[in-house]
Structure 1
Amino acid sequence: MNIFSRRFRAFVMLLAPCLFLAGMLYLQSQTVQPASAPAAIPVSTTDWGLSFQTEGAAPIGNATAEDLAKYNAYYLGDTSQKIIYLTFDCGYENGCTEQILDALKKHNAPAAFFVVGNMIETAPDIVRRMAAEGHIVGNHTYHHPNMSAISDQAAFQKELDSLAALYKETVGQDLPMYYRPPQGKYSTENLKQAQALGYKTVFWSLAYVDWYVDKQPTAEQAYAKLLPRIHDGAIVLLHSTSKTNAEILDDLLTKWEDMGYTFASLDQLPC
């Protein structure tokens, strides 16, 4: 090793402790910043959803029947009997609802029709027929907004009260106290708000994609969803705007009857 290398090595050995000490003093001089707390998570919209595990068995909802019951809310009826609760969402009239009513009358099957303001305004005679033939007419709100975005109780109540007032003016009866959240969007706060107003919130345990008027399923496609997935205590959601539903309902009800099912009104939901 030459003289230059020896001197350089000695220099580094003398300098290293100094650098280490300087680094430690620098670190001690710094103020440690605590990690920032996570932002508060706002109450979020929940889309009602189902998971079918076993053919012929009730699906699992994204809230249990027991949890929903705390807020007078349901997605299943009496699962100890072969009972079906038929419900229809009615956003507007496009020529299908009377055929649906005819099929229900033929089978002596009660149903619930969840209507919005437009349905009552544009098809009052059909809404009056629903009530006259013993069906429940439920509250689907006046304007069909995302109700989970409404946190103010007064604004929430106005959507329901406006529809109820229009129904009474049109039919001459009080609107039955059943509520279905538009698009299935809800929050725990919504369930509390509806309960405070005296409503039962009604979700569903069986539905299929029947609401695209310009892309209606075939009868075979409808049966493929509605027959194997039917189950005891099912609350079935169909749309009254569906041409397919209007065309198959008579036969569909017959098929369900052949499977041993009967039809019940939401008034017969277990408390």
Structure 2
Amino acid sequence: MRENNNRPMDRAMAAVFCAILLVAVVIILLVAGHLMSKNAKHKDSGKAAENTQIEESSETIGMETQETEVTETLAQEETETEEPFIATPIPNVESLDTTSYGWGQGVQFDEYNRPISAVQYQETYGKYNANFIGENRPVIYLTFDEGYEYGCTERILDTLKEKGVHAVFFVTQPYAEDNPQLVQRMIDEGHTVGNHSVTHPSKGLPSQTMEQQQQEVMGCHQYVLDHFGYTMHLFRYPTGAFSEQSLAIVNNCNYKSVFWSFAYLDYDVNNQPDQTQSLQKLVDRMHPGAIYLLHAESETNTAILGSFIDQAKAAGYSLEAFD
């Protein structure tokens, strides 16, 4: 009887034990699942962080590559800009026409206000690296001839510096000898120094032999190179007189010839033109690619230069040094 009475109790205890065991198994499974999920998230976070680092590193490398490419491009452009002018030699110079021509821009103009003769001469003689007018775009080239110093050049340089404009100064050898501080200032302030011959022959370059013409160019060239360490490559003909042969001689000296598409009677120091009228003349004759010839000994030019620059800029022109 006692044995039979204990069996229901044993079954109840067994049932309770099984239930406890089942709950324990469920808890263990839940805890294990949570830990696995947490580890997976941690791994995913680690991979995401690793991917982010890789992406950031790639972006950094990309930016460095772009910066390197930009630096190399700028360096290449700077090198290209600094390359010296090299003229193509013209053969058989001795056989070319020696007829001397005087140059003046004339009084007939096209629809762009350009002197027609300057455009025609450019088409005819441009093959010799001769320049009577620039490209048909809104730019004006300021050039100053320097044969003698009358105390104006320093003030002209002051005005150009104030206005942020560069110009070309064509110097004779005696001018460079007598005014080294002014020539050095031209160079230091970014202007172009051009060659205006050794002696400025009154009858022009074509009046001389081929050897003399070459010496007129290369004598001044060598003096400026020796005393200023500066290599000139632009030449202006004394009196504007030239021949086909002289154009070839100057070209073969590795020079460009620069004439002009505007000039006026400004060089007589004892008979200077009216400043108001002169300024209006300079403004009225503005045209694309204009090469202005101004004499640096002119008090009138010195006085009106700043106003002309302002009006030219207001009219949409840039002012540059011919290169």
Task: Pick 1 or 2: higher relative contact order, CA cutoff 8 A, min separation 6.
Answer: 1
Q: Which blocks of at least 5 consecutive residues in structure 2 are unaligned?
A: 1-96
d(CA) in 1 for partners of 2:280, 2:306: 16
In the TM superposition, what is the alpha-carbon distance from 1:165 to its structure 2 partner?
Answer: 1.6
d(CA) in 2 for partners of 1:198, 1:45: 21
Deviates more, 1:156-165 or 1:125-134: 156-165
1:56–1:244 distance in 2 versus 1, CA, 3 Å = farther
2:106 paired residue among 51, 54, 59:
51
Q: How many residues align structurally? A: 223
1:135 aligns with 2:135: no
Q: Percent identity?
A: 39
Q: Does the CA contact (< 8 Å) of 1:48 and 1:61 recur in 2? A: no
**Pair member with larger Rg:** 2
2:167 paired residue among 90, 93, 111:
111
Matches within 5 A, 1:48-87: 48-54=103-109, 57-61=113-117, 63-79=120-136, 81-87=137-143
Deviates more, 1:61-70 or 1:116-125: 61-70
Matches within 5 A, 1:1-271: 43-54=98-109, 57-61=113-117, 63-79=120-136, 81-145=137-201, 146-152=204-210, 154-174=211-231, 176-267=232-323
Higher-helix-fraction structure: 2
Higher-strand-fraction structure: 1
d(CA) in 1 for partners of 2:206, 2:130: 15
d(CA) in 2 for partners of 1:116, 1:60: 30
d(CA) in 2 for partners of 1:61, 1:177: 25
Q: Which blocks of at least 5 consecutive residues in structure 1 are unaligned?
A: 1-41
Q: Does the CA contact (< 8 Å) of 1:52 and 1:58 recur in 2? A: no
- Structure 1 residue ranges (4+ consecutive) displaced by more than 6 angstroms after TM superposition: none
In the TM superposition, what is the alpha-carbon distance from 1:159 to its structure 2 partner?
Answer: 1.0
d(CA) in 1 for partners of 2:205, 2:196: 10
1:4 aligns to what?
none
Please tell me the residue identity of whatever aligns with 1:196.
Answer: N
Give secondary structure in 1 for the equivalent of 2:284.
coil
Give secondary structure in 2 for the equivalent of 1:48.
coil
Please tell me the residue identity of whatever aligns with 1:169.
Answer: D
Please give the root-mean-square deviation of Cα atoms over the aligned residues, in Å. 1.5
Q: Does the CA contact (< 8 Å) of 2:170 and 2:236 recur in 1? A: yes
Q: Does the CA contact (< 8 Å) of 1:56 and 1:229 recur in 2? A: no
d(CA) in 2 for partners of 1:196, 1:119: 24
Please tell me the residue identity of whatever aligns with 2:126.
Answer: A
Q: Does the CA contact (< 8 Å) of 2:133 and 2:261 recur in 1? A: yes
d(CA) in 1 for partners of 2:139, 2:249: 29
Measured against aligned partners, the alpha-carbon deviations of 1:206-246 in whole angstroms (never above 9, x if no partner) come to 11110000000111221232111110110110000001111
Deviates more, 1:95-104 or 1:157-166: 157-166
d(CA) in 2 for partners of 1:129, 1:244: 22
